[in-house]
Amino acid sequence: MLASEESMNQTEARAIFEKFLADLPRGKETDIHILADADADGLPAAALLVRSLHAAGYSRVTTEARRKFENAWMPEVHARLRDRNPEALLIVDLGTRPDAILPGVPTLLIDHHAPFGTPPGATLLTSYGTEPTATSGLLAWWCAAAIAPALAQDLQWLAGISLLSDLGDKAPFPDLAESKKRFGSTAMRDLTTLLNAPRRSATGDATVALQILLEGASPKQILASDSPSLHALKEAKAEVGEALASARKAPPKFSSKWKDELGADIVCIRIDTPCQVHPLVAQIWKPRFPQAVVFGVNVGFRPGYVHFAGRAPKHVNLVQFLRNHTPNGADGTFGGGHDQASGGALPMAIWNAFITEMGFGPEMQVLPRSEQLPAPQSELFAA
């Protein structure tokens, strides 16, 4: 939709959003459903959209967070969405692909990831290809400001959290510094960490995190609330912390096979946990191998699958490399994300072929659980 030399700015974003709303089949009575990513960018984006739409008089707006393993192009997800019988759909921070979601239902995708295409008939509001690249939360804040400006001012912290979560403390948007000043940088950071915990936990259910953002007045108010929801976030954070502590002990393995094409060595760290800590593992090891592509490889995240998350140095385009090497049988998420932060999920057999192709040996092969050899006996009991 946008040529790369154009820049997605607030004016364009609000024009796209206002046009989408103006075309809704039943105006402010339209049943609108929002499916958002479960992280601290997608969740604030969903909260901003719901709260501003309500404030603007759209009374029939609901939202949910993506569940573990889900994306917006799975038949199970489509079936669940269809059950709600929405008259309009917003798909937020979940990437964009050329395949239909709910055919015939007006759909707006708000996103900033490397696109694969746009579903037929859908509207795409993306900041991808513009520098700096606005997060989904910031795009949603621009949309909110178009229809409920006073509320958007009060909720600027939601945009700030999305910037902190996706782009870090140095995100080149004035909204971050401004919201830190208004709402407290420590409170914003602490809340960001808590919001990101449930989707990384073994259940991956971020419903509570979303609920908190649909109701909360500010980060400080939320953190002081002592509510069961806040305790649930703290428990998730402790669970993820434990999983990460053991995952970070795994040793790195190396391959130089694709150095010419990729411009970097590949480093794999293999872990085995139901928690979504493989992206964190890649991030933790990245400073140790600043010139390499680092993959956090999780063989225990989803039964029968291997999930991996890569982090690449600035001169490497990991999206392009992965799309060039997408194995047959991969789903449409392989090589999504950002140029320096991409990955995928593969059924075990396909993973084994893929990682051999990447130049790794038996240390990265996986076997179905039932075929795994018993653990070697300890020295003590050896004959």
Q: Which residues bind to Mn ion, rule: CB under 5 A?
A: 41, 93, 136, 166
Nearest to 248 by CA among 269, 264, 224, 217: 269
Instruction: Considering the complex, state which of residue 81 and residue 171 has its C-beta at the smaller distance from Mn ion.
Output: 171
Distance of closest approach, residue 366 Cβ to Mn ion, in angstroms:
29
Strands 293-298 and 266-271: parallel
Instruction: Considering the complex, state which of residue 41 and residue 175 has its C-beta at the smaller distance from Mn ion.
Output: 41
Do 166 and 135 meet the contact criterion of CB atoms below 8 Å apart? yes
CA 45 – CA 42 distance, rounded (Å): 5
| Structure-block tokens of residue 361 | 């040996």
CA 302 – CA 276 distance, rounded (Å): 10
Instruction: Considering the complex, state which of residue 95 and residue 344 has its C-beta at the smaller distance from Mn ion.
Output: 95
Instruction: Considering the complex, state which of residue 164 and residue 350 has its C-beta at the smaller distance from Mn ion.
Output: 164
Q: How far is CA 352 from CA 31, 279, 305, 365, in A?
A: 45, 20, 10, 5
CA 294 – CA 93 distance, rounded (Å): 24
Distance of closest approach, residue 196 Cβ to Mn ion, in angstroms:
11
What are the contacts of 51-56 at 24+ separation with CB within 8 A?
A: 51/144, 51/148, 51/151, 51/155, 51/214, 52/143, 52/144, 52/145, 52/147, 52/148, 52/151, 52/152, 52/155, 53/147, 53/148, 55/147, 55/148, 55/151, 56/28, 56/147, 56/148
Instruction: Considering the complex, state which of residue 188 and residue 230 has its C-beta at the smaller distance from Mn ion.
Output: 188
Distance of closest approach, residue 135 Cβ to Mn ion, in angstroms:
5
Do 33 and 62 meet the contact criterion of CB atoms below 8 Å apart? yes
Closest residue (Cβ) to Mn ion?
A: 41
The number of residues making up the chain comes to: 383
Distance of CA 227 to the CA centre of its chain: 26
Instruction: Considering the complex, state which of residue 144 and residue 366 has its C-beta at the smaller distance from Mn ion.
Output: 144
The helix (H) or strand (E) run that includes residue 8 is none
Instruction: Considering the complex, state which of residue 31 and residue 41 has its C-beta at the smaller distance from Mn ion.
Output: 41
Rg (CA), the chain: 21
Instruction: Considering the complex, state which of residue 38 and residue 262 has its C-beta at the smaller distance from Mn ion.
Output: 38
CA 216 – CA 182 distance, rounded (Å): 15
Distance of closest approach, residue 377 Cβ to Mn ion, in angstroms:
47
Name residue, tokens 């509510």. Answer: 227
Instruction: Considering the complex, state which of residue 114 and residue 299 has its C-beta at the smaller distance from Mn ion.
Output: 114
Distance of closest approach, residue 193 Cβ to Mn ion, in angstroms:
16
